[in-house]
Amino acid sequence: MESKLLVVDDEVFVRELLAEYFTKLNYQVRTAGSAAEAIQLAGTESFHAALIDLRMPDAGGIDVLRAVRKTADDISTIIMTGYPTVDSAVEAMRAGAYDYVVKPFRLKELDNIVTRAVAAQRHRAEISQLRERVTELEARVANLRKKENREGVDVGTRRFTIIEKGVEGEPFQVKQPALTGSQRHRIREVARQDPLYEEAVASRREFRGKAVSFMEESS
């Protein structure tokens, strides 16, 4: 899958150099010469990583970083600067920068940093998708549990309902609610994850024995 890179620098030479270099490495590159242009691009297109110059004419690079991450919080942002200071490096990292590189830099070294940044972005995206999937599955399990409860089934301790057949004088019977095969399978899976499973099984067996005895005494 082709990676998409945003290059933000007010110097035309730097933008063109980086765009040409990363395009040859099979990146899809977009460039911005101002903070406003960068923020607009980040808000309308998806990027895996962004190279952002620290000093821009209309805004500081860290301000651009914050604005870009506000519209695309999973993007990996890398601050570039020819005027490095400890304070700006710390501020960049606290603002969420993936890395902080000093100009002039070797293109190969920058390539290594961008490669790692893109990999980190993909990893975060996968985690986000997994979280969404887990949330979806949890909701489905909750709905299934509600359905099971409506049908008279308790996960881990299947409930046996003692009913009267409706004709006076006829014996009571123990009726187990009808379950589909998939319901029985899921109940067993969920039940075994319950720390009280063994206790529940013992209780179920005890109740079954009492129910059978009750049925025999009533016949």
pLDDT score of 80: 96
Which of 67, 99, 131 is at the close of a domain? 131
Q: Do both 88 and 181 map to the same domain?
A: no
Domain for residue 136, yes or no? Answer: no
Q: Do both 43 and 110 map to the same domain?
A: yes
Q: Which residues pair with 81 in a beta bridge?
A: 102
What are the pLDDT digits (tens) for 40-88?
999 899 999 999 999 988 888 999 999 988 888 889 999 999 999 999 9
Which of 97, 131, 165 is at the close of a domain? 131
Q: Do both 17 and 114 map to the same domain?
A: yes
pTM for the whole thing?
Answer: 0.62
Domain for residue 19, yes or no? Answer: yes
For residue 168, give its domain range.
151-218
Which of 99, 131, 163 is at the close of a domain? 131
pLDDT score of 30: 96
What are the pLDDT digits (tens) for 120-133?
998 888 887 777 77
Q: Do both 203 and 113 map to the same domain?
A: no
